[in-house]
Amino acid sequence: MSGALPGDLERASVRVDEEPAVQVAPLGPPLTRAEWIRRNLFSTWFNGSLTVLSGALVLFLGFHFLRFVFVTADWSVFRANLRVYMVGRFPLEHIWRVWAVTFFLAGLIGVSRGVLTPARWTRRRLLVVSPAAALGVGAALYLVRSALVWTLMGVAAATYVAGVAAGRRLGRRLVRPLLVGWLLAFPFVVVVLSFGDVGADRWGGLLLNVIVAVAVIALSFPLGILLALGRQSSLPAISWFCVGFIELIRGVPLLTLLIFGRFVLILLLPPGVAFAQIVRAIFMFTLFSSAYVAEIVRGGLQGVPEGQYEAARALGLSTTRTLALVALPQALRTTIPPMIGHFISVFKDTSLLAALSFSELLFTARRASQAFEFIGHQAEALLPAALLFWMIAFAMSRWSQRVETRVGVGER
Amino acid sequence: MAVASTARPPLWRNVRFLRVAGQIVFVVLVVLVARQAFLNLEFGVREQRLDLSFDFLRQRAGFAIKEGIGYSANQSFFDAFLVGVVNTIRVALLGLALATILGLIMGVARLSSNWLVRRIAQVYVEVVRNTPVLVQIIFWYVAVILALPAIEGGISLWDLAFVSNRGTAIARFRLEEGAGAWVVFLFGGVVAAALVMRWRTSVNDRTGRTGPRLPWAAAAFVAIALGGFLFTGTPLRGDVPEVGRFRYEGGLQVSPEYTALLLGLVIYTGAFIAEIVRSSIQAVPKGQKEAAEALGLTPRQQLRLVVLPQALRIAIPPLNSQYLNLTKNSSLALAIGYPEIVSVSNTIINQAARATQMLLLVMATYLLMSLTISAAMNALNRVVTRRGRR
């Protein structure tokens, strides 16, 4: 998928631009404000009372929430543990590795954005983005007190902005280097974070969630495709094996698989062979995820019309080529939205590592809330972690919606 | 033109041979890997001075479980496991029902013509769906329920329900002597209601009017239930909880862990069900509604007779997978110590160290539950589809 995606996006967007805008007959003059309110909030007595009731509920909850956030809450538990939330017990003298990775990713993301999405600052978008940005800056002003960290964050932001500018300037010429950059990004990040004397067991916080999620996604994607093809195979031995594996994995909770990885997996390997705890967790997590990827891909394969296979056969393509050149490219295009949805849930599920005492974000937050000096501030310790999870998952789901309209799923 | 060769292709190009050979190689490989893994497992287990038998399940458990069916520490590991199974079912069944109701309300709200209601439902879905369920469960447990006042200063609702960080106690009715006979009356009431419903339907069909049917049926049920209640000597007694020193006495008691797990699961799954409800209603072709309108059906009839039956058919497969998810997610109780299957099994593994057997047992149990739910949903699917075809 990653091999074909950016180019396709480009083409799809061009195609959309070329199509003449659909002319909709004007529906009369735009509604006045009073008319809009009457129609959307008080059209019937039932609707009116619903508006009053839910409005009161929103005001009540909103007031208490805002009062909590800005007045009664004491966020010092988050401020004191900010670094732990982000990177866990990553050794301080090696923290430059994390910053190096941050700069690299900021640049890469910036360039990708510049190349792929033209800037369209509608008034509505500004209206949503600017308060959020102001809140973010305000929170950062409260949380970060070190000049060094501010400088480093400034450098990261500058890298991002420069990346966007470069991406916009050079445009499609950068698609190929970008692909290479993204393919090499994960190995590069892992090497930078771990070469020398920082082992994987020192990773923690949000960093660990992201690394585990990316590793699981990258590994389970090809494995899931293989499983889906195996399930569709006309060889009974292979398809039964794949069906059994997929259904077994999907029938049990992820947590039991992770516990299996903790206690039993090591016994199945030859004596003397041992892997780090986190590697075993990633292994089990990958098996889990690949079963779901397989089901998504199967859905996509079933959507490929029979005529496509017949046409491929008529052209004399072998089975392998039919799958690789005809079936999979079409199947994978339609699976993009559910696939991203699955990747979001993989990211969310990395929080399960907390139940096995890996020091990922949720675990760190819970531990921070148990410290003696912060007793009574559990909500303040947990909410930032929840917000971090939410921001990443929400950004991914928004991105998925954009991709969905771009590749025109359901329109072809 | 050359005559087509009638000679058989060589073995390594013969598709039929290759198919068989490929499968044999695959099976042999799988068997070899599985055998090696099993041998490794046996060796490793023997090194730990353990075995692979399930006999340990009969040993005395020796640990207490806070809630669930009657059980004492003197009973066996297997009994402890059964308590876990019952506790999982207890939270999953109620969770399924409540999540469906919440999802239905929120899904319909997302399609409401009222702007404010629509926005509230959208914010709920976007916030809840994009936050990990474990974060939500732990938040409810640590930051909300355990942060409630202690038992003596707890919240009291007209002395009928009490809420504190020790849990919730609610007044309830308990069945007394004669309840069995009353249940027979209740059953008779249901049958009578069904008969009355049929009778009124046939009257409506004959006269061509749309007279009330449900009120008639309800009246029949209430009359029989009430009569039976008095006849059997009022077999219900109020059971009102009282505040003790450390715990509540009497009433229906709900532990903090159960409440947190239920809240987390219901609110999380409800958001996904809301999306399913919304998208399946939207997936019903517009022409269906327009046709219903052209036939002169009222908006309510359009929804009830035309849109919803078709939407339900679209919704059942994704709903099934959400039900499975909720059941499997109940295993997250491990993080807050509600004694369901995984939590109890984790304790057993810590005590008896037989992780392999225990995990096999746990996975088999979950598979069985998943299959049961899927079978029930498939049966429902068949019923719904058949009714649609008629």
**What confidence tens digit (pLDDT) does each residue in A118-127 have?**
666 677 778 8
Total number of residues shown for chain B: 390
User: A192 and A208 in one domain?
Assistant: no
User: A360 and A381 in one domain?
Assistant: yes
∠ CA A98-A103-A107, rounded to 5°:
145
User: A233 and A126 in one domain?
Assistant: no
Where in the sequence is the domain holding B180, given as residue range(s)? Answer: 173-237
Distance from CA of B19 to the nearest CA of A (A): 7
A254/B contact by beta carbon, under 8 A: yes
* Interchain CB contacts (distance < 8 Å): A and B: 164
Q: Is the pLDDT of residue A283 over 90?
A: yes
Shortest CA distance from A267: residue in chain B: B41
Question: Per the structure block, which two tokens stand in for B363?
Answer: 């996975």
User: B292 and B379 in one domain?
Assistant: yes
User: B267 and B373 in one domain?
Assistant: yes
Asked whether residue A73 is assigned to any structural domain, the reply reads no
CA A235 centroid distance within chain: 36
A272/B contact by beta carbon, under 8 A: no
Say if the Cβ atoms of A264 and B22 lie within 8 Å.
no
User: B303 and B208 in one domain?
Assistant: no
In CATH, what number is assigned to the domain containing residue A259? 1.10.3720.10
**Residue the block writes with tokens 């799958």:** A323
CA distances from A337 to A214, B125, B324 (A): 18, 18, 21
Q: Give the best-scoring range by mean pLDDT among B67-76, B225-234, B262-271, B342-351.
A: B262-271
Distance from CA of B21 to the nearest CA of A (A): 11
Say if the Cβ atoms of B133 and A238 lie within 8 Å.
no
Nearest to B115 among A41, A267, A394 (CB): A41
pLDDT higher at B49 or A206? A206
Report the domain count for chain A.
2
pLDDT higher at B378 or A224? A224
CA B301 centroid distance within chain: 30
User: A260 and A174 in one domain?
Assistant: no
User: B182 and B226 in one domain?
Assistant: yes
Q: Is the pLDDT of residue A17 over 50?
A: no
User: A370 and A247 in one domain?
Assistant: yes
Say if the Cβ atoms of B142 and A58 lie within 8 Å.
no
Asked whether residue A47 is assigned to any structural domain, the reply reads no
Nearest to A51 among B41, B116, B131 (CB): B116
Q: Is the pLDDT of residue A136 over 90?
A: no
pLDDT at A11: 42
Amino acid at B19: R
pLDDT at A268: 86
Q: Is the pLDDT of residue B380 over 80?
A: yes
Boundary (domain end) residue, out of A196, A217, A252: A196
Residues of B in contact with A54 (CB under 8 A): 114, 116-117, 120
**For chain B, what is the HEC assignment?**
CCCCCCCCCCHHHCHHHHHHHHHHHHHHHHHHHHHHHHHHHHHHHHHCCCCCCCHHHHCECCCCCCCCCCCCCCCEHHHHHHHHHHHHHHHHHHHHHHHHHHHHHHHHHHCCCCHHHHHHHHHHHHHHHCCCHHHHHHHHHHHHHCCCCCCCCCEEECCCEEEECCEEEECEEEECCCHHHHHHHHHHHHHHHHHHHHHHHHHHHHHCCCCCCHHHHHHHHHHHHHHHHHHCCCCEEEECCEECCCCEECCEEECHHHHHHHHHHHHHHHHHHHHHHHHHHHHCCHHHHHHHHHCCCCHHHHHHHHHHHHHHHHHHHHHHHHHHHHHHHHHHHHHCCCCCHHHHHHHHHHHHCCHHHHHHHHHHHHHHHHHHHHHHHHHHHHHHHHHHHC
| Among B38, B139, B326, the residue to mutate for chain A (most A Cβ within 10 A) | B139
pLDDT at B314: 85
Q: What is the mean pLDDT of residues A63-71?
A: 87
Asked whether residue B103 is assigned to any structural domain, the reply reads yes
**Residue the block writes with tokens 């400034």:** A154
Asked whether residue B225 is assigned to any structural domain, the reply reads yes
Average confidence score pLDDT of chain A: 82
Average confidence score pLDDT of chain B: 83
Asked whether residue A137 is assigned to any structural domain, the reply reads yes
- How sure is the predictor about B85, in pLDDT bands with cuts at 50, 70 and 90? very high
Residues of B in contact with A338 (CB under 8 A): none
Say if the Cβ atoms of A379 and B41 lie within 8 Å.
no
Q: What is the mean pLDDT of residues B227-252?
A: 71
Boundary (domain end) residue, out of A196, A225, A243: A196
Question: Per the structure block, which two tokens stand in for B155?
Answer: 């919240």
User: A267 and A126 in one domain?
Assistant: no
pLDDT at A13: 41
Question: Per the structure block, which two tokens stand in for A364?
Answer: 């760190």
pLDDT at B387: 56
pLDDT higher at A94 or A361? A361
Asked whether residue A27 is assigned to any structural domain, the reply reads no
> If we measure between CA atoms, which residue out of A292, A355, A304, A294 comes closest to residue A329?
A304
User: B193 and B328 in one domain?
Assistant: no
User: B301 and B215 in one domain?
Assistant: no
- How sure is the predictor about B128, in pLDDT bands with cuts at 50, 70 and 90? very high
CA distance A231 to A233: 5
Flag the least confident range among A167-176, A316-325, B21-30, B296-305. Answer: A167-176
User: A210 and A149 in one domain?
Assistant: no
Say if the Cβ atoms of B132 and A349 lie within 8 Å.
yes
User: A128 and A271 in one domain?
Assistant: no
Where in the sequence is the domain holding A189, given as residue range(s)? Answer: 91-196
**What confidence tens digit (pLDDT) does each residue in B1-34 have?**
455 556 777 777 787 888 888 889 989 999 999 9
User: A112 and A230 in one domain?
Assistant: no
- How sure is the predictor about A352, in pLDDT bands with cuts at 50, 70 and 90? very high
Q: What is the mean pLDDT of residues A130-134?
A: 84
**What confidence tens digit (pLDDT) does each residue in B180-235 have?**
777 888 888 888 888 888 888 888 888 877 777 788 888 888 887 787 777 776 66
CA distances from B349 to A224, B61, B363 (A): 31, 11, 14
DSSP 3-state of A145: coil
User: B183 and B127 in one domain?
Assistant: no
pLDDT higher at B260 or A33? B260
